[in-house]
Structures are given as structure tokens and as C-alpha cells.
Structure 1
């Protein structure tokens, strides 16, 4: 603290006690309101003995304490013009509170300040009459918000929901202006309304970066991938077909699209029936991927072992050999006698190797 700091505010503990004491002299509270200690200032804002002009100033920082101060309603009764005298920063702050008196909401409706008007339309307690007046505001965003306010709209109807959808779609920026990197993160950490995803899919400006990043990410929600499957961009669709989070019903739709078949054969979530249909695909690489896929049934792999293409047949044969090796190893582990015989064989082989070395 510097030398200009009031003496009583230098002892923080004493200042806090005095600020909270209802019997503290008003002029002393005026001095304590200048404290650099937040708790002290907060207590002054809630003290009923604090001078009204000091309260109204502190209300900008502590709107809840001002509204809860027992003297505040009395001040409004004593001075009918008090609302008009509330400093603008304080007015903006208290309008964000849920317990702001309705008569304050009614009296500030004529305020031209944009933040004040937006505070009114966002407050759930704002009366319908005030909202009606705000539909005549010179600020377009205030007019639109007032029209959509729950109290003005009355009962929720399908038209009301459609109107909200129209407004949101109208303010979604072009991908070149939007921070698409942030949108990618947003779409991966919380559910996104379907109509917004539809908008991204239909807007070609989102194709190159945004939709492709979403389609390729293992963190993307299945609901988003479902809509990305309808994208006009082939690369995006292929990545959706390859994404393990893509719903199975969406994967089934890709089974008839040649460009997406290779991606389906790579997707570890692709079910056995789709892989079976891909096993007859004309593309050699796709059939090889099907043979190597962990979800492919043994029957399909055996069929591919007889494939006319040597590379496909060899890939399937190798998989069968690996599977048989696993079965043999498992059988040995489960059969103690077989383990014993295997141990004896190992001893014989080691003895033969030693004889050769001599």
C-alpha cells in the first residue's frame, strides 16, 4: 500500500471486521469502500449503514450484495428516481442477477445502452410488456432476442423452435471467417445440435478443413459422423466410413459405395456381415484387407484362401495358419500332458544341438 491509502484500511483484519459491522459509522464505511482488499469492499456493499452513493458504486463489482442489502428496497421507496441514478456499470451488473426486482426491469426499459437492453432480454424475469417495448429497439440483436424471449413467445410451439433454428443458422459464419479449429474441439467435447451439423455438411466452405478433421478424428461423436456421411466431399465420406465411432447403420449404407469400401475394410468396427459382402469385391486390396480383418468369420477367410488371385489367397492362408497356431498353442497350455511331452521334446532337441557343437 502507498501513503495515500486511508489509515483504517491498512490493517486488513480490522478493516474486514468494521466493514461487516452494521453499527459502523457511514463515513467510516465510505473510507473502507476505498480499500484494496476485496473482502472489505464486499462487506461494505452488504452493510445497511453504507451511504447510498457508495452502495450504488460498489454495486458494479458486487451486484448480489447490493440487491441483498436490506436497505436497498428502502432506498428505492424513499427515492422514486433512484433507478435513474444508478451508475451504468452497476445497472449492467445487477441486470445479470436472478433476484433483480421487477420494477427495476420495468424502469430501465427505456435505457438506450446496448448492454442494458441485452441484460433485460436475457433476464428470465423481464415482463412481457418490457419485451414488447424492446422489439422497437434500435439494436437489431436486441429486437431479435426480445422476440425469441420465452415470456414473449408464450407457449413453446413448433414454429417457435423453427424460428430459433433459423436465427442460429443465420448467424453461423462462413468457414473462412469462423475459428474452425475451435469448432473442431467443440464438436468433440460436447453434443452439437443436428441442424448445425447439417449446416456444416451443406456449406462447401467447411469441406476442406473442418469436416475432414471431424471425419478423421476418433474423438468425434457418432451423431456428428452420421451427418458427415451425407457430405458431398468423397474424402470426408471415406474417413467417416473408416472412423470406429461411426454407427453401424451408417456403415451399412457405405457398403454399396465403391469409394468407401476400402475404408470399411480398414474400420475395426465393421461387422462381419459387411465384411462378407466386401469379400467378393473386385478390388484385390479390399479382399486382402477383409481376409486380415479381425471381425471376418473363419468361413469367409477359408473362401478367400481359394481366391483366384494369388496375393489374396496367400493373405487368407497366412491368417488361417496364424489362427491354427493360436488354437494349437491354446490347446498345449490347457493340456498338462502335452506340455510335458513338449518339454521332453525340447530337452532332446537341446541335447542334439550340444552333440553337434562338440
Structure 2
């Protein structure tokens, strides 16, 4: 029998036992049961003597590949044992190697090796792991031929301002777009907001420093010939009011919907969207807590489609008298949503006429 111990205490020597449990029960519930209270540490000591290339291929029990993959995935996700994680980094299963690349306890040297692998998803995941050495992040962004690894390095929470500026000149528009989203240097943002690639301009439009751009540049993003930058700007919670009000009248439904869902929604933009010809836009607006109460009242009227009324009924900012009316709506879905919202208000004591 396998001893019960904390999930992090399991090592590569526990793999045959985990495989046996998976094969016998075919459910992950057993894995959750196995990963229980602390047990003994003999297997950890045994694992420390193993070479990284020694995956446990010699087991006395003939088990399915599926059972083996699930067992390895369990170890790759839960283990904190360095030797175990180094061994599993050489697993034949891609899913396991990705989990090792994600694991915050994976040794730095193992993460470095994974970040240099030609397999894009592994390189990307490993490069984004905070455990990657700072020197390796610099090597990736300066010298790596792998676009996936460079993108992963830019997602890494430890990446420096200097390296983001390096990435802003990357030949890949995807890398430049990520740098445009993350940069904290206004002059760099200005340059990337005028990039020839729409994907890069969209990255710049998502940056929270957009209000620091000149009105001319913000207008250029709001009037971009491609939908991507306009939609990105509409989704930006820091987007200037003037830009949102322009985008609320955009020709593209996707862009108008992004404005309707915006945390920065202005009363003027909401007023434009309340009369939008597209039901999806009005539905998004009705669900936005920043929508003015008078407009929510209008969106909850019987002449509106049920989807719009239901969104209003689920909005905690909806006036009390409107919610009570929606609780008697002809649509059972609207009534149910209104009842839930009223219940939440009563629980919090926040319902006022």
C-alpha cells in the first residue's frame, strides 16, 4: 500500500503506485485520496540517488499509457521534490513536460533546459515561469530564435523594464505586441502605437498608459482601419472618455460590444449604445454595472428582447422597482434572474427604491 503524505512529498518512486491506483479506479478521485496526510520519507531519499534520465520504465505491473500519463501528471503538478521534477522533465508525454515547465518548484537549471527546447508550448511555458534565472530571460529575449520562448519571457512577472524595451524592437509582431502591452515607457508606447502591424497597435491600445498618448494618437487608434486596435482600445479600462464615445458609434458590432462591457463606460457612450440596433450590444450594456439607472430602466422594458431584459435583471445596479417588475416578467429566465438579484440585495441589505 502507498503511504499517505502531503502531495509535495510524493516522488518519482511513488509512480508505480499512482499508476496502479489510476488503472484500478480510472478516476482522479483516487489520486486526490492518495495525496493525503504526511507519511514516511524513504522514497524521497531513494529518488535523490537517481539520475535525471531514469524514468520509471521498469515496473512489474503492466498498465495503460493513460494510467501512466495521469500518474506522471499528478506528480508533475503536485511534487516539490527537485529530483522527481528533473526526471519528469524528460517524460515522453508532452502534457507532463508542460506541467513541469509550469511548476514553481522546478529547479532553475531544468527550467533553462525546457525554455531552450524546440517544442514551442514547452519553451513558452518554461520561459514564463518566475523560477527561470534572470540571466536566462535576457539570453532568451536577446538571442533566442524561438518566438514562443520570447513571448513566454515577456509574460514572466520578473522580466525587467530594460528587457521589455529590448522586445519592443523584436522582428516578430507578436513579441512587439506583447511589449507594447507591457511597456511603462511612454515614448516606446508612442512608437508602437504607430507600428505598421495592426497586432502591435492593438497591443499598444491595451496598455494602461494610453491616456498619456497625445490626443492625435488616441484618435488614430480609435479610428484605426483595422478592427483589432479599435476593439483593444474599447476594452481598455483606462481608455479616455472621448475615445469611448467615438467607439460607441463604431461601424463594427464587436467594437461597440467592447465599449458596452467597458469598466470605463461613460454616460454619453451608454446613451449611444442604449439605442444600438444590435441586440448583443444592448445585452452587454444591460449587464454593465456602470450603466446609468435610467438607461437600465429603458433596457428592462417589455419591448426589449428577453436576452436584454435578463441581462438587466442580473445587474446589481438595476433600480429596485425595475427588479420587482422583472420578477413578474413573462419570461421565466428573466423572472429567475431578477429573483436572484433581489435575493443578493436582501442578503447584503443594499436594496433601495
Note whether the superposition's TM-score is higher than 0.5. Answer: no
TM-score where L is the length of structure 2? 0.43
TM-score where L is the length of structure 1? 0.43
Q: Hey, which of these two has a bigger chunk of helix by percent?
A: 1
